[in-house]
Amino acid sequence: MSHLAVVKTSTEKYRLVKEINGKYFEIPGLKTLSDALKLNLTDLKKIYETASTNEINGELVAPVAPDTEVWGAGVTYQRSRDARKEESGIPDVYQLVYEADRPELFFKATARRSVGHGAEVGIREDALTSVPEPEVAIVINRFAELIGMSICNDMTSRNIEGENPLYLSQAKIYFGSNSLGPMIRPIWEIFDHNKLDINAKIERNGSIIWQAATSLKSLNRSFEDLIGYLFRCQHFPVGVLLSTGTGIVPPLDISLASGDVVTITVDQIGTLVNKVITTPLDINDRIK
């Protein structure tokens, strides 16, 4: 088993490597994920399979390049539709988008706005209720080909989105709201890639306070359909990551708190773990 991974080295912030058994190796000619996503699937696979024996030392970070865009799809599972209808003052929009041909697609994050496995995700200080959204992220090259799969935690301030769907960007795009990783499993190594199981749990003070599972079999749209809409009237010169929506939403009485640990496991892809902290209102002043 191997993965495409991104590591921070002493000289590079987002170095693309091939991971095998916890060790990282150079991939000839490919320094960043963007280099890889400029290639078509056949050429990428050829280069990946001839990865060198030059080991690279670094710390695993989110699988992105400095110029990567991360997008999200929404209301792609029945559970997501029902949960949003429950929490929203304007429930019809979720039913309509669930049934419509055109999916909900939104801009979620950049590299700077993404954290990786083991890093901290944030809950907004001004949110009353916050939840993780455990999702499969698909990695797409500039030719709209699916080249790999990863995991995304599309953190969401539930009551803010519930108050008004037009607050979606504030509910979902803030400091610490996007986690990705741990790595990318190449699509050619995944068996039955559209049937994978997804498990998630929240731990508080060492005890599980919530856990749930779903499967990509319950995704209401095909990856091809989502990619097709994402690439309409859009240019992705360095590819794109698309988080495919959540099929797991905690009940209304569960909300994340600082110190919680969120764990998301996707069959054949890996396990993404993040500790939760509060993102203060004045985060902009605190970061130099």
Provide the minimum distance between the beta carbon of 255 and ligand DO4 in the complex, in angstroms, as a whole number. Answer: 17
Provide the minimum distance between the beta carbon of 172 and Mg ion in the complex, in angstroms, as a whole number. Answer: 7
Contact region for ligand DO4 (CB under 6 A) — 40-48, 70-78, 199-207, 267-275? 70-78
DSSP 245: E
168 binds, among Mg ion, ligand DO4, none (CB under 5 to 8 A by kind): ligand DO4
Q: Considering only residues 19, 104, 133, 161, which one is a binding residue for Mg ion as defined by CB under 5 A?
A: 133
Instruction: With beta carbons less than 8 A apart as the criterion, state whether 241 and 107 touch.
Output: no
Provide the minimum distance between the beta carbon of 226 and ligand DO4 in the complex, in angstroms, as a whole number. Answer: 12
Contact region for Mg ion (CB under 5 A) — 44-52, 199-207, 216-224, 244-252? 244-252
Say what the alpha-carbon torsion angle 152, 158, 164, 165 is, to the nearest 10 degrees. Answer: 20
Element (H, E) at 162: helix 158-163
Provide the minimum distance between the beta carbon of 76 and ligand DO4 in the complex, in angstroms, as a whole number. Answer: 6
Q: Considering only residues 246, 255, 278, 279, which one is a binding residue for ligand DO4 as defined by CB under 6 A?
A: 246
| Residue 246 in the binding site for Mg ion (CB under 5 A) | yes
Question: What CA–CA distance (Å, rounded) separates 73 from 76?
Answer: 7
Say what the alpha-carbon torsion angle 133, 136, 139, 144 is, to the nearest 10 degrees. Answer: -100
Contact region for Mg ion (CB under 5 A) — 91-99, 127-135, 183-191, 271-279? 127-135
Instruction: With beta carbons less than 8 A apart as the criterion, state whether 74 and 57 touch.
Output: no
Question: What CA–CA distance (Å, rounded) separates 67 from 240?
Answer: 10
Q: What is the largest CA-CA distance in the chain?
A: 56
Q: Phi and psi for 19 in degrees, rounded to 5?
A: -100, 130
**Location of structure tokens 């959204």:** 133
State which residue has the least CB distance to Mg ion. 154
| Residue 87 in the binding site for ligand DO4 (CB under 6 A) | no
- Give me the helices (H) in 166-222, please: 168-172
| Residue 103 in the binding site for ligand DO4 (CB under 6 A) | no
Q: Which residues bind ligand DO4 (CB under 6 A)?
A: 72, 74-76, 80, 84, 104, 133, 154, 168, 245-246
Q: Which residues bind Mg ion (CB under 5 A)?
A: 133, 154, 246
